[in-house]
Amino acid sequence: MTLTRKHLPLVAAAIQTAQYSLAGYFLIGAMGWFFVGSMGGLVSLAMAYGASQVADVAKGRKLQSWVALFAMAIFSPVLVGSATFHHLDIIANPYWRGVVSGVWGILPDAAVILSGFAAGRGLFHEEKKKSVASPKGKKRSAKKSAKYPRTCTHCDAQIKSPNAVGAHMKKHHPELCKPKTLAEALFEKEIKP
């Protein structure tokens, strides 16, 4: 498997999910591995998707999208940072412990958001909507509306289908099929009204 830019946000989201699981374990014990970790997976994937689609959001909703994206980015520093702060007894100074805990919570969010921007719209495959034409709006081309078999106007031969017209013309009327030079085309336009 080759890594592409599409995989980067998913790897960042997986790492952030692991951090949520660890924070859940620090805060509420063994149940935190699953419950807080699954919440982290949801937040991580939502952030990756939001970051990849934010450029394509309608102009009227652009501010709301940015606010929602950064509101989701606060979850991780609050939850992961708090759990790290309480667990990180090795740093005695509470200010430095707060800085380390905050950075520990911010880095995965930043990685998910930045990799989502890098991946762009290609991160998640979306099905293209099929356009449905209304029956009233359909216009038939001249070839499809013509009745076949029909007679060639140049030699009275029977032509059985629209696809056979080109083959018949090339075989029986090659002089009519040859491309015109630019001078011939211009001269023809000047004479004909």
Write out pLDDT tens, residues 118-177: 777 655 555 555 555 555 555 555 555 667 778 887 787 888 888 777 787 778 777 776
Query: Which uninterrupted H or E stretch holds 85?
Result: helix 62-87
Indicate whether 25 and 89 sit together in one domain. yes
Strand bridging mode 158-159 / 150-151:
antiparallel
Indicate whether 35 and 89 sit together in one domain. yes
Indicate whether 98 and 150 sit together in one domain. no
Last residue within a domain, chosen from 93, 123, 153: 123
Burial 126-136, CB ≥16 within 10 A → b, else e: eeeeeeeeeee
The contacts of residue 148 (CB under 8 Å, 6+ apart) are 159, 160, 161, 162
Give the residue carrying structure tokens 């859940």.
24
Write out pLDDT tens, residues 19-44: 888 888 888 888 888 888 888 888 88
- Residue 159 domain-assigned? yes
- Polymer length of the chain: 193
Indicate whether 149 and 118 sit together in one domain. no
Indicate whether 76 and 119 sit together in one domain. yes
Over residues 99-119, mean pLDDT: 81
Number of domains composing the chain = 2
- Residue 91 domain-assigned? yes
Q: Domain containing 157: what range?
A: 143-191
Do residues 107 and 12 lie in contact, with contact meaning Cβ atoms separated by under 8 Å?
no
Indicate whether 113 and 185 sit together in one domain. no
Write out pLDDT tens, residues 40-68: 888 888 888 888 777 777 777 888 888 88
Amino acid identity of 19? Q
The contacts of residue 40 (CB under 8 Å, 6+ apart) are 16, 17, 19, 20, 21, 23, 24, 76, 79
